[in-house]
């Protein structure tokens, strides 16, 4: 393994691990705030117990995310010193603001965890809102920095020297809005559907405390379904931006080998040697029609640049297809959810928590949001290769000259495996195993104290 490949692999491992906690850090605080709001409105102690359990899970995942995020910060400087030397002064502001949002989230998460009986209910709920907002802003600032790497602005280059740095313009780069919107919706969709799916499994097993699981399922759907239904719109905006600013990445996403009318390729494996897609279903001119309004409109293909400037097509295309498939499945379940709710309100059909077929579908979709996030970031990062900053700096020119990078890659991989095992064990011990046992000991009943709409 070359040092460049080892450095890229280590960064990919770190990002792939950290992003899961970043996603939960955006979505989970919203769930706990909604649970507490409903508790204050209806007075059901089960909702308070639910908010507390989600707060414990948020704290565990926040702690591990802080560790993995710190590792990433060091890796940027240690693995990519040339990149940080030239880009650090341009994108330093969003990283600084992310740190501010991170500390704000940590402070108010502590208040939320330990001040249930020490401050007023309104103040406690407000602390939860601050956690949710700062968690979302933390993700926004990081994604803004990444967007700059895809559409660099806010500086000039004269005789190889960077000057006229405008950090605000760098933050507000052309890719910022579409990437932030797409990632934020993905975080809420992934967290909401994962939560609903976990509690759907509990309902399918006819475990005790069905009312508790119904509450959790409903709140998960309340967050996940709107995000999943809006995601295709943000995806379309992102695709149009990529087509304009990163046409080679767009060609790799669609496995479009030859410049000309672009078909919509479903599945398949790109063969770059023959310029074909094996085992694929192609709809001729479909992408050209959507993007340009003309099925015969020409769109640049991979052949528009030399081979050295092309990303690994197979990886990008397959990851893009996985992301779309997961998004379509979640959107379908979201539409089905709305249809079933409407039918139920009209007196037809059973409630969602009692529909076993629907619960099975939720269980199936539980991991899809996180799979889509991983696949989407693969498209974003691998699709930009061979550039670390699109059009300005190649990845090979940014890597550290220090040899033997395969050793830290193996070491950090083992570290992340150990952290993953520890996280699963902690979540099981603190959240699942204790479960609603505390609710039972507190004398909570299984009857709904207030009407709950399906």
Q: In this predicted model, what pLDDT tens digit does every residue of 413-448 receive, in sequence order?
A: 888 888 788 877 777 766 555 544 444 444 444 433
Give the per-residue pLDDT at 430.
60
Cα gap 256→211, rounded to integer Å: 51
Give the per-residue pLDDT at 59.
87
Q: What distance separates the 2 farthest-apart alpha carbons in the chain?
A: 74
Cα gap 297→299, rounded to integer Å: 7
Cα gap 63→69, rounded to integer Å: 10
Cα gap 322→318, rounded to integer Å: 6
Give the per-residue pLDDT at 440.
45
Give the per-residue pLDDT at 272.
86
Give the per-residue pLDDT at 30.
93
Which parts of the chain sit beneath pLDDT 70? 207-209, 347, 349-350, 429-454
Cα gap 293→338, rounded to integer Å: 31
Give the per-residue pLDDT at 13.
86
């Amino acid at each position: 393994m070359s040092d460049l490949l080892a450095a890229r692999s280590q960064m990919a491992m770190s990002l792939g691990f950290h992003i899961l906690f970043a996603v939960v850090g955006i979505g989970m605080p919203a769930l706990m705030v909604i649970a507490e709001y409903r508790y204050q409105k209806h007075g059901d102690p089960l909702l308070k117990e639910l908010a507390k359990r989600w707060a414990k899970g948020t704290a565990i995942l926040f702690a591990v995310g802080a560790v993995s995020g710190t590792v990433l910060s060091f890796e940027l400087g240690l693995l990519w010193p040339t990149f940080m030397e030239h880009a650090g002064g341009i994108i330093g502001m969003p990283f600084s603001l992310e740190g501010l949002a991170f500390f704000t989230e940590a402070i108010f998460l502590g208040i939320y965890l330990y001040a249930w009986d020490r401050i007023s209910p309104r103040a406690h709920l407000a602390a939860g809102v601050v956690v949710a907002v700062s968690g979302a802003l933390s993700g926004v600032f990081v994604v803004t920095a990444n967007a700059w790497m895809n559409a660099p602005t806010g500086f000039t280059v004269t005789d190889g020297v960077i000057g006229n740095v405008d950090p605000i313009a760098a933050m507000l780069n052309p890719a910022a809005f579409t990437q932030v919107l797409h990632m934020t919706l993905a975080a809420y969709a992934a967290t909401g559907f994962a939560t609903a799916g976990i509690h759907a499994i509990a309902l399918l097993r006819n475990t005790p405390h069905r009312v508790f699981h119904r509450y959790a399922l409903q709140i998960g759907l309340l967050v996940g379904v709107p995000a999943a239904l809006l995601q295709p719109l943000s995806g379309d905006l992102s695709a149009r931006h990529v087509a304009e600013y990163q046409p080679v990445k767009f060609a790799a996403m669609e496995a479009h080998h030859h410049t000309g009318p672009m078909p919509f390729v479903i599945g398949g494996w790109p063969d770059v040697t023959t310029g074909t897609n094996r085992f694929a279903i192609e709809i001729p001119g479909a992408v050209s029609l959507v993007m340009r309004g003309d099925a015969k409109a020409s769109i640049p293909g991979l052949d528009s640049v030399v081979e050295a400037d092309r990303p690994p097509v197979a990886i990008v295309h397959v990851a893009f297809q996985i992301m779309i498939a997961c998004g379509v499945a979640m959107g379908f379940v979201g539409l089905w959810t709305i249809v079933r709710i409407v039918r139920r309100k009209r007196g037809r059909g059973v409630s969602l928590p009692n529909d076993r077929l629907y619960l099975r579908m939720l269980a199936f979709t539980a991991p899809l949001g996180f799979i889509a996030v991983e696949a989407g970031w693969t498209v974003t990062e691998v699709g930009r290769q061979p550039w670390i900053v699109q059009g300005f700096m190649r990845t090979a020119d940014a890597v550290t000259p220090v040899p033997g990078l395969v050793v830290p890659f193996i070491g950090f991989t083992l570290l992340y495996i150990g952290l993953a095992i520890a996280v699963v064990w902690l979540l099981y011990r603190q959240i699942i195993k204790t479960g609603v046992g505390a609710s039972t000991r507190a004398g909570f009943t299984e009857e709904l104290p207030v009407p709950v709409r399906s």
